[in-house]
Structure 1
């Protein structure tokens, strides 16, 4: 047992040496993430866990044992690259090491390699691949009594299932299973608070606000006993803010976003990409309050942080881009709005993303085109937005509005049959817009349809000028909640913010 503990301590020492090497070769972006990386170094406490040490007895073959040690040290480098925001380099190394780990036939190393790759895939918003890697880490962890590894993989997988793959019921159903694994791992590190956070995210996605708030508060309570502050506290505050924002409670939402931003800055520095998420939330609050110009700096800073960490084509950039499009459009800056909407559409198309943000960008670009007199282009964009909303099963006002505007423009262009089909789609919608139009007589002129639309859900709202305040913000799923992880050591990571 003493030999196992000495070997464990040597691995911790190697992890620290790797971090030092990364810092020596660091650029500005890496240095900005230095605090988080140093704070998340593996704990020495894990080297006192006899059950965990026994589960990781080295292979009998000296040559294999040596390769296991080398690959293990390299996996430590993967973790450092991840925590310092070097996702692309880290993912390339993780894939290579996972292949080598599988060839060695040593389950603890295979499980750790799968978990490391799963973390980076999740951070890179590659949900299908992340779920597969985490599922493999979970399977190996359970089969070989690697309790902390299994628990962490299970908790992260909850987030991927519910938030990234739109299967929140399946994610929530996995919570009791993850709770049992956390218990087997003796609540190592941040596993308990992390589980509460991700369970809260599932409850929120399913509309159970009371359960979500209780889970988030349980996560915060669990974090208060830590000797050092942890970024997980900030992400829970961000999630609470998003929950309030989704339900129109702007003041408590703003308060939570400010707390999350300040906490992130204090712990990981103001240049870390995690700071972008509460900044987007603050921009959303300003937008909902009609403070269009005031929202722009928050979105711009978030865009810069995300682009610096993930590159110019990553899906996370869509969120601040759509926010900037809305802000400029509502401030009467159509040309500027079109640039942001168009870039969001371009990123979504290249990544084959079809979510509410993509639809909102299409509809926003259509609004700008219609205002500029490009009616045919605007009609096509509204039709595309409607198609995306339909694919998502959306029954909300944004979908009805896209159909209504497509019909209005078709009628304006003399395409009466096409216009009639679009208006019938609006009437078929169960939302308030459809109900209001259903109460109106069968109308034939664009003016009459506009008048009927103006008596919709927002009273005197003029749908020609774009959606009223508060009606176009899609439910922010892809970045609203971040999944954090903790290994046998108290290390944290964002997944999909």
Structure 2
């Protein structure tokens, strides 16, 4: 290519111009050479432009001083200064802020949108290049069109608008470029040539050019707008984006103006004013305002000097760092790559969040805001460091490929979107957001994953089509808002947003985004208790993730599906199968502690759902022993404390959880009340009634101010107090409290029928204890009707069935009791979701038959339960096995076999006492001691019998066990 330029130049010099003045031929040859090198980009353009400094003196065309004068022409410096100022605006991002402000101010009607984009394009192109002005506005215009499409604007309306906007932006850039001398290079060429062509013409400076060019540009702009919006294209009437804030969102995403924007903007405005006022302003024929060049000593200061002064001011401040020498640019290629996080987590954001939180008037709002600030400060700093490291490794150190840098950036950008969406949710917080803020902030996706090659390898491929990539980015921004709403506890709002997104996501046809949306919808439905919908969306996630080769989301979907199937739906085998699939899918991440932790938590939930307390506790204790656990310690302690209802150290675990949660979230946070309620129940089970009641009352004092009306949440604190009174033996007071809780639930417009059923069942138990069996049975019938109407397969349907049987037993009505008992067992056999609850039910039914004096069916049910235990737990270490020994001892005693009964009871007591998970003074062990005492008495071992009776007394509290207690004392 270089030789081609030389050859063409020589051909011109030796061909048509041969025989003319040699200087003419040489000049033409150099001109052709330069034109060829410019077109073919043989060397950088500016190098070609400097060739005359070397070639003209060598060719004898002109001397070096004569050539150099042309490079020092004031017009060149005016153009150079204006170019640097414009780049300063572009590097600071001020041009984008100005463009958004103009378009957002004009309005959202189609005609106004076209006018707004044209006006922004023209104003920008007055000062920066036409290309830069168009590049700023095109993505914004495409966003508006995408938003309009997602709001249901049809193609017949959208097509003309899109064409008018695109053409308007392009034409307006040309029109605006005529308004100032620096708007486009040909203007400066005209200023330079005009005195040569017309020597007598008055000189053109910046102000005189604008006096001519600005009105002409305004006229052309209005004419172009009228042509595009009224003649060539018929635009619809009415607002285009009703209810949408796409432009305002874009403005909020920029955050407050930064220092570099203020500086570059201030320098630019000052320079423009100096340009326009240098030679004075003529206001009609009667008034002329003098310019600053009329001041002493300033007459020789031209527009070029002003331009260079402005450029020096911008460069000196380091705003346009890319305009510094090449060496400096090479040393700092990653200086501003992480600025995106500053646009999201701005200096003003913590104060705005604090004000929003405090506006809720919640007692824990201030502490929640402080906790959020600490978490998000750290997260933003991690993001910044990771983004700079990704750039530095490739562009500075050369230790990483460009493809790996692109993957790390593709991993980091969604995390910035999640941070932005959560900040926006916090800045518009309600009570639910404040309650969930700390957990939501800590739930942001981990930054460290973007440094892990195994995680990066599981990222889905990005679309090759630029337009589709942009739509993907738009939808992921809205998906981030959906995720933020879910994390912040705004489940209904999140569900509405998710349903709105299904159409645009399906139309996009990009499987990874579809998988992300389906996963979010599945998690939202699961949190709302919509089990069928949750399973449907999670299975759709698996399909979309497989289609889009998105292994990370696929593994997450298997985890959520395992929890939904095993815990939500009690389909334990299916849940465990899903957990194994999750483990296999997530194996690609290697030895990742966070992934291992999530798997263990799901497995613990599955074990709890199966009532496998021993395994659940072992898993949770394993997590507590680790140093790299992500889950807060108070969360694990609280879950561990509620694992085993009869665990002797449950109360101690919950006390520690309560202390840590108070420190982490504040003493008045509603999640502190959650631990207090769990602790209250455990204390009541261990006969520490005063402390248990204090915990329940404190939970009530926390929750009550947070709700304006009676609610399920407040009713739960009343129910906890009722439970304590029931365990204490104050049945009448417990009944009154339960009835009050039922009234609260019924008054809650958002109450769930299952909550009402649970409370009615509790009142039925109280009525039964008070001897009001007919009223108890009426309540049980209501409970059964609720379950059969809302969820016939709900596992809690067993409780009212068994309670009905117990009520008939207390009345001495044997046949109805047997009927309800058999119905309960048939229900369990039909369900077949778990063998563990079935064993419990069979033991309960066996005891009911013993109460009725029917020993044969009692023996049959006991033997069935024992066979199931043998099949499930060969080690015979479960508390169900301990209990089955106690039930057998009771049966043997009723059969008149005190020796066998004493042996079975002694073995049962020994196992209970050796089991660290069992309560030493619980009612199960107390009743077995009572059976043992009776067997010993029948054997004639009076003293030993009395000792066992004394040991049984503490566990036989309350009217439910009055008969047994009386017999023991007798």
The TM-score with structure 2 as length reference comes to 0.39
Moved more, 394-403 or 291-300: 394-403
**Structure 1 residue 243 corresponds to structure 2 residue 647:** no
User: Per-residue CA shift, 1:68-127, capped at 9, x if unaligned?
Assistant: 211211221222222222222222222322443222111111111112222222222322
Q: How does 1:256-267 map to 2 (within 5 A)?
A: 256-267=653-664
Q: Distance in 1 between matches of 2:817 and 2:795?
A: 18
CA shift for structure 1 position 302: 5.5
Q: Distance in 2 between matches of 1:149 and 1:311?
A: 40
Q: Distance in 1 between matches of 2:718 and 2:687?
A: 18
Q: Distance in 1 between matches of 2:697 and 2:516?
A: 37
SS of structure 1 residue aligned to 2:644 = helix
Counterpart pick for 2:848 among 420, 433, 451: 433
**Structure 1 residue 11 corresponds to structure 2 residue 414:** yes
Structure 1 pair 199–30 and aligned structure 2 pair: CA distance change class (3 A)? same
**Structure 1 residue 141 corresponds to structure 2 residue 545:** yes
Q: How does 1:213-224 map to 2 (within 5 A)?
A: 213-222=617-626, 224=627
Q: Distance in 1 between matches of 2:535 and 2:643?
A: 25
**Structure 1 residue 37 corresponds to structure 2 residue 440:** yes
Counterpart pick for 2:514 among 103, 106, 110: 110
Contact 2:565-2:574 at 8 Å conserved across structures: yes
Moved more, 266-275 or 38-47: 266-275
Q: Distance in 1 between matches of 2:432 and 2:821?
A: 52
User: Per-residue CA shift, 1:443-489, capped at 9, x if unaligned?
Assistant: xxxxxxxxxxxx9984699x9x76459xxxxxxxxxxxxxxxxxxxx
Counterpart pick for 2:426 among 8, 20, 23: 23
Structure 1 pair 65–52 and aligned structure 2 pair: CA distance change class (3 A)? farther
Contact 1:280-1:298 at 8 Å conserved across structures: yes
Q: How does 1:298-313 map to 2 (within 5 A)?
A: 298-299=695-696
Q: Distance in 1 between matches of 2:485 and 2:748?
A: 25
Structure 1 pair 10–30 and aligned structure 2 pair: CA distance change class (3 A)? same
Structure 1 pair 22–306 and aligned structure 2 pair: CA distance change class (3 A)? same
Structure 1 pair 56–240 and aligned structure 2 pair: CA distance change class (3 A)? same
CA shift for structure 1 position 363: 3.4
RMSD over aligned CA atoms reads: 4.4
Q: Distance in 2 between matches of 1:213 and 1:375?
A: 38
Q: Distance in 2 between matches of 1:51 and 1:35?
A: 29
Contact 1:379-1:405 at 8 Å conserved across structures: yes
**Structure 1 residue 424 corresponds to structure 2 residue 825:** no
Q: How does 1:393-432 map to 2 (within 5 A)?
A: 400-406=802-808, 419=813, 421-425=815-819, 430-432=845-847
Structure 1 pair 244–349 and aligned structure 2 pair: CA distance change class (3 A)? same
Aligned to 1:415: none
Structure 1 pair 364–4 and aligned structure 2 pair: CA distance change class (3 A)? closer
Contact 1:4-1:57 at 8 Å conserved across structures: no
Contact 1:313-1:347 at 8 Å conserved across structures: yes
SS of structure 1 residue aligned to 2:853 = helix
Q: How does 1:255-404 map to 2 (within 5 A)?
A: 255-269=652-666, 274-292=671-689, 294-296=691-693, 298-299=695-696, 322-329=719-726, 330-331=729-730, 332-333=732-733, 334-341=735-742, 343=744, 351=752, 353=754, 360-367=758-765, 376-384=774-782, 400-404=802-806
CA shift for structure 1 position 280: 2.9
SS of structure 2 residue aligned to 1:430 = helix
CA shift for structure 1 position 199: 0.9
Structure 1 pair 385–117 and aligned structure 2 pair: CA distance change class (3 A)? closer
**Structure 1 residue 130 corresponds to structure 2 residue 534:** yes
Aligned to 1:66: 470
Moved more, 147-156 or 79-88: 79-88
Contact 1:314-1:347 at 8 Å conserved across structures: yes
Moved more, 362-371 or 279-288: 362-371
Contact 1:117-1:133 at 8 Å conserved across structures: yes
User: Per-residue CA shift, 1:274-296, capped at 9, x if unaligned?
Assistant: 54543332121122134456434
CA shift for structure 1 position 156: 1.8
Moved more, 261-270 or 171-180: 261-270
Structure 1 pair 431–315 and aligned structure 2 pair: CA distance change class (3 A)? farther
Structure 1 pair 467–69 and aligned structure 2 pair: CA distance change class (3 A)? farther
Moved more, 366-375 or 60-69: 366-375
Aligned to 1:443: none
CA shift for structure 1 position 147: 2.1
Structure 1 pair 118–192 and aligned structure 2 pair: CA distance change class (3 A)? same
Structure 1 pair 467–126 and aligned structure 2 pair: CA distance change class (3 A)? farther
Q: Distance in 1 between matches of 2:613 and 2:804?
A: 29
Q: Distance in 1 between matches of 2:503 and 2:707?
A: 24
CA shift for structure 1 position 155: 1.3
Contact 1:327-1:337 at 8 Å conserved across structures: no
Q: How does 1:90-105 map to 2 (within 5 A)?
A: 90-105=494-509
CA shift for structure 1 position 129: 1.8
The TM-score with structure 1 as length reference comes to 0.72
Contact 2:418-2:483 at 8 Å conserved across structures: no
User: Which runs of 5 or more residues in structure 2 are unaligned?
Assistant: 1-402, 823-843, 856-893, 895-922, 931-951, 963-970
Bigger-Rg structure (1/2): 2
Q: Distance in 2 between matches of 1:135 and 1:314?
A: 34
SS of structure 2 residue aligned to 1:43 = coil
Moved more, 428-437 or 172-181: 428-437
CA shift for structure 1 position 433: 3.0
Q: Distance in 2 between matches of 1:136 and 1:343?
A: 39
Structure 1 pair 293–133 and aligned structure 2 pair: CA distance change class (3 A)? farther
Moved more, 161-170 or 358-367: 358-367
Contact 1:114-1:134 at 8 Å conserved across structures: yes
Structure 1 pair 178–384 and aligned structure 2 pair: CA distance change class (3 A)? same
Contact 2:738-2:759 at 8 Å conserved across structures: no
Contact 1:315-1:347 at 8 Å conserved across structures: yes
Q: Distance in 2 between matches of 1:53 and 1:135?
A: 24
Structure 1 pair 182–164 and aligned structure 2 pair: CA distance change class (3 A)? same
Contact 1:182-1:192 at 8 Å conserved across structures: no
Q: Distance in 2 between matches of 1:379 and 1:190?
A: 50
Contact 1:272-1:305 at 8 Å conserved across structures: yes
Contact 1:300-1:320 at 8 Å conserved across structures: yes
Structure 1 pair 339–179 and aligned structure 2 pair: CA distance change class (3 A)? same
Counterpart pick for 1:161 among 556, 565, 573: 565
CA shift for structure 1 position 300: 5.9
Q: Distance in 1 between matches of 2:738 and 2:745?
A: 11
Contact 1:325-1:364 at 8 Å conserved across structures: no
Structure 1 pair 426–161 and aligned structure 2 pair: CA distance change class (3 A)? closer
SS of structure 1 residue aligned to 2:643 = helix
Q: Distance in 2 between matches of 1:77 and 1:107?
A: 19
